[in-house]
Amino acid sequence: MTKAGVRKGNGEMIRTVRKIHRLTASFLSVALFLVAVSGIILGWKKNSFGYIHPDSYQGTTSDLSQWLPLDSLHAIAIMTLRETGNGHLSEELDRIDIRPEKGMVKFVFARHYHGIQLDGATGRVLHLEHRRSDLVEDIHDMSLVDKLLGIDGEVFKLIYTSFTGLSLLVFTVTGIWLRYRSRNNSRKG
């Protein structure tokens, strides 16, 4: 192959790599913007004075033997959800967070961003939570799309995170390759 043929082949390869680099940059600019902004917010969640991530409130006793049964506390949480005008919201639980050292139990709901903190011993409502940090986490990893579309198994999240990670890897490799090629070409010229 002649030098002109080699240069032509190199030029086509460089154009192809640049096109791949630009395409991944287009996707990544949006994805990484969302990841960066939501990551900053999540980094500050515990220092937001309860706005992003709800503070945990203190119950009356950490002695579990004095606590109400968990099913009774659950019933109080569901009744509280209904009484607050949020009765139209799903009662499905994501988790029950038991904090004996705080004398408190927290009921976090699966299909919306609300939680209820109860005194473990008395069942008194300590705090009604709007869980903004959970929403930000769902935006951060795009599991929000799965929730909005009712997709089980976080399929969109898996596709999005895999595609974003692979795109970032391709973007990095093509960027290094383009930088290396331009540096070598400037030395030859």
* Amino acid in the structure at residue 25: A
Model pLDDT for residues 138-189, shown as the tens digit of each residue:
999 999 999 899 888 899 999 999 988 998 898 899 889 888 877 666 666 5
Q: Which residue has the higher pLDDT, 14 or 100?
A: 100
What residue numbers bound the domain in which 104 lies? 54-130
Model pLDDT for residues 108-142, shown as the tens digit of each residue:
998 889 999 999 999 999 999 999 999 999 999 99
Domain boundary among 130, 155, 171: 130
Report yes or no on 110 lying in a domain: yes
153: left (phi over 0), alpha (psi -120 to 50) or beta: left
- pLDDT for 78 equals 95
- pLDDT for 9 equals 61
The rounded distance, in Å, linking the Cα atoms of 59 and 102 is: 6
Helix (H) or strand (E) holding 156: helix 155-188
Q: How many domains does the chain have?
A: 2
Residues 6+ positions from 132 with CB-CB distance below 8 Å = 51, 52, 53, 113
Q: Do residues 142 and 126 share a domain?
A: no
Q: Do residues 24 and 78 share a domain?
A: no
